[in-house]
């Protein structure tokens, strides 16, 4: 079970830990490594990104990122969703928050402390992620760390302190160990095996494991074929007490967690539970 944590995101106060929350990915970028996202019905949080984290390509300009992301942020926020904006640029974060976002998912490890100023001023939640690489740069070296778990914990502790020093409240912060970011597949697996060490920081834990490279390396599958591997990683994250799980296929993740909760005894199963007749078999093919 996840430790209970309180998260403040804009005007919302979220009590985390009773069950895993799902963060659905909406890619507003044409070059995402995993293809488009956007079917996020049932997600607890909608994460909108206007720039892909794919390496080896120049960063997207602020105006272009805003043109991609803001209409999507506005659409989901106006529908009442808790919206996160996936950006490391303070100007993009500020505009997205003004458009209705209540969280900033920063994959740079707070490389720009001004981003913390934006969150402190607006009350938006802030995801602080571990990475030793600059945005759009690739760092994959088996000898990059003497102890990758210790590096993740020390880095997050130091960057969280930067956020606190800039006025972000503890209740606004989530931490992300950064699977694949500046890590080989083996290093990512080592970190995911020791999520207890990340929990000791005392913040809600966000885990972005959907379709990641480490899953592809373990299974030999391309991003679109990593659904089963993603669910295995999702199970591990849920068992390890992750508070928020970032996924592309919200429906599959939701189904997985529903069955898991019933089998674990975390969800009540009424004695009169029955399968609807129309769900007993596939409908006849129209062809």
Check pLDDT > 60 for residue 220. yes
Q: What is the 3-state secondary structure (H, E, C) of 219-285?
A: HCCCHHHCHHHHHHHHHHHHHCCCCEEEECCHHHHHHHHHHHHHHHCCCCCCCCCCCCHHHCCCCCC
pLDDT at residue 33, as a whole number: 47
Tally of CB atoms within 10 A around 179: 25
Better pLDDT: 28 or 263: 263
Mean pLDDT of 69-89: 96
Better pLDDT: 285 or 261: 261
Mean pLDDT of 34-47: 78
Sheet holding 125-129, edge to edge: 173-176, 125-129, 103-106, 83-86, 45-49, 21-27, 244-247, 206-208
User: Which residues are catalytically annotated?
Assistant: 212, 246
Check pLDDT > 70 for residue 165. yes
**Binning pLDDT at 50, 70 and 90, where does residue 36 land?**
very low
Domain borders along the chain are 5-279
Mean pLDDT of 242-268: 96
pLDDT at residue 135, as a whole number: 87
Task: Write the class of the CATH domain 5-279.
Answer: alpha beta
Check pLDDT > 90 for residue 43. yes
pLDDT at residue 287, as a whole number: 59
Check pLDDT > 80 for residue 69. yes
Tell whether the torsion through CA atoms of 51, 47, 219 and 149 is positive or negative: positive
Check pLDDT > 90 for residue 213. yes
- Would the pTM count as exceeding 0.95? no
Instruction: Name residue 26's beta-bridge partners.
Output: 48
pLDDT at residue 231, as a whole number: 98
Angle, helix 62-78 to helix 90-98, in steps of 10 degrees: 30
**Gap between the Cα atoms of 166 and 231, Å rounded:** 37
């Amino acid at each position: 079970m996840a430790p209970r944590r309180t998260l403040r995101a804009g005007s919302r106060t979220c009590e985390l830990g009773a069950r895993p929350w799902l963060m659905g990915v909406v890619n507003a970028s044409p070059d995402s490594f995993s293809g488009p996202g956007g079917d996020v019905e049932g997600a607890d949080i909608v994460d909108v990104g206007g720039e892909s984290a794919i390496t080896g390509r120049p960063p997207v300009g602020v105006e272009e990122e805003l043109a991609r992301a803001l209409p999507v942020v506005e659409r989901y926020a106006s529908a009442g969703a808790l919206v996160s904006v996936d950006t490391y640029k303070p100007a993009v974060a500020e505009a997205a928050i003004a458009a209705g976002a209540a969280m900033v998912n920063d994959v740079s490890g707070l490389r720009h402390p001004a981003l913390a100023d934006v969150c402190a001023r607006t009350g938006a939640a802030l995801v602080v992620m571990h990475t030793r690489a600059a945005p759009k740069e690739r760092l994959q070296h088996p000898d990059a760390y003497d102890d990758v778990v210790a590096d993740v914990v020390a880095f997050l502790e130091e960057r969280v302190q930067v956020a606190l020093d800039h006025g972000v409240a503890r209740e606004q912060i989530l931490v992300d160990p950064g699977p694949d970011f500046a890590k080989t597949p083996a290093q990512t697996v080592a970190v995911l095996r020791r999520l207890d060490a990340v929990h000791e920081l005392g913040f809600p834990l966000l885990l972005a494991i959907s379709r990641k490279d480490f899953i592809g390396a373990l299974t030999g599958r391309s991003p679109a074929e990593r659904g089963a591997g993603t669910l295995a990683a999702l199970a591990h994250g849920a068992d390890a007490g992750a508070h928020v799980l970032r996924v592309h296929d919200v429906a599959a993740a939701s189904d997985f967690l529903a069955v898991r909760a019933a089998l674990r005894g975390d969800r009540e199963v009424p004695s009169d539970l029955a399968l609807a007749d129309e769900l007993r078999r596939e409908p006849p093919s129209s062809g």
